[in-house]
Amino acid sequence: MSVRAPIAVLAGCLLMAQAAGVSPDDLIARGRASYNAGRYADAVRDLSAAADAIVAPAQMQQYVTGGKFESLPKFETAVIYLALSYAKLGRDADAREQIQRLVAAETIAPTYASLTLDPDAAGFEDLVRRLSPATSLPMKTTAVATVAPPPVAPPPPAATSASTQTTTTLTPEQQHELDQRIANARAEAEKEAEQRIAAERAAIQKQMEERIAAERAAADARVAAERLAIERQMEQQIAAIRAAAAQEVAHAAKATVRRAEGMAIAGDIEDANAMFARLLKTPNPPRELVGQVATGFYRTGDYPGALRAFEKLGTFARGEEDLRYYKAVALYETGRYAEAKKELECALPFIELTDEVNRYRDKIEQMP
């Protein structure tokens, strides 16, 4: 008979075996008492421990080596009451699992039909039909009270000797075949155990990777939020520094404009224009400063310099008509009469008509 299938099913129980100080017989008796008393959770605990102890590694090794599972009736009794206890607790999936364990045990040796169970286990067959209709077991028709078997006297020495002699009469070929079957069964059990261990390891590794990825994502989110906050704070600080620097530049530029204007009044036209030119080269100069520089060039008569400033100033805004008039004069003085006429026409309605304005108006309007 092949031992591969039942070993594969029962090997899953090996990891759950408990090193309890109570014997499986006592655990089964205590579990059945708890079941009869309606303490189903206690029954589950004791009966699970009994079943796991019966299929402990030592017992399974004896089965693999000798081909006999002496405790099979006790194991099936434990799982029958365990299935009933789970059903009482409403845990049908666990009860169905115990039924499957019974089916696996039956493949080792048909035992269920010979079990004598108390009347309290009479509902097991109905439970099997409800939870596992496809299960085929030699169902009992009546529940019989368990009666302890009479003690069996040890076999006489002659019988033992004869039995020993019988087991040693295997031919070398038969012994080799038996050893090969046992080795194959052991190898298959070890292979399936390794596969289960590998699957568990892969599942644990996946959980660890998912947890690490989640923690890393949370850390990245925190870092990104902190970086954004720092960048905003830096931008605010930089903007404040730039504003302060711009104010300082503006104050310094105003002072420079006043010095240049003073130098122009004093007749030092060349140095005044050089100072205006340096102001015009200031990076990102304020519009007000550019207008002041253009006016300074205009007043010193440096019309090309004034036009450079006006080009940097760009489009005139409302209220800058005086600057537009200065540009018209600079255009006229540099020979760009058509442009001068256009700028003067735009400026005249908004500026005071002084003698100087009228004089330049006559000059510009007379140009072709």
Q: What is the pLDDT of residue 143?
A: 44
Q: What tokens does 212 get?
A: 């690490």
Domain 252-366 is found in CATH 3.30.420.40: no
Q: What is the pLDDT of residue 254?
A: 81
Cα 344 from Cα 347, distance rounded (Å)? 5
pLDDT (tens digit per residue) in 185-238: 888 888 988 898 888 888 888 987 998 788 889 888 988 898 898 798 888 987
- Residue ranges matching CATH 1.25.40.10 in the chain: 252-366
Question: Other CB atoms closer than 10 Å to residue 12's CB: what's the count?
Answer: 15
Place of tokens 């036209």: 269
Q: What is the pLDDT of residue 1?
A: 44
Which residues of the chain fall short of a pLDDT of 70? 1-21, 64, 139-169, 245-246, 249-250
Is the pTM of the predicted complex or chain greater than 0.85?
Answer: no
The three-state DSSP-derived secondary structure of 190-229 is: HHHHHHHHHHHHHHHHHHHHHHHHHHHHHHHHHHHHHHHH
Q: What is the pLDDT of residue 50?
A: 94
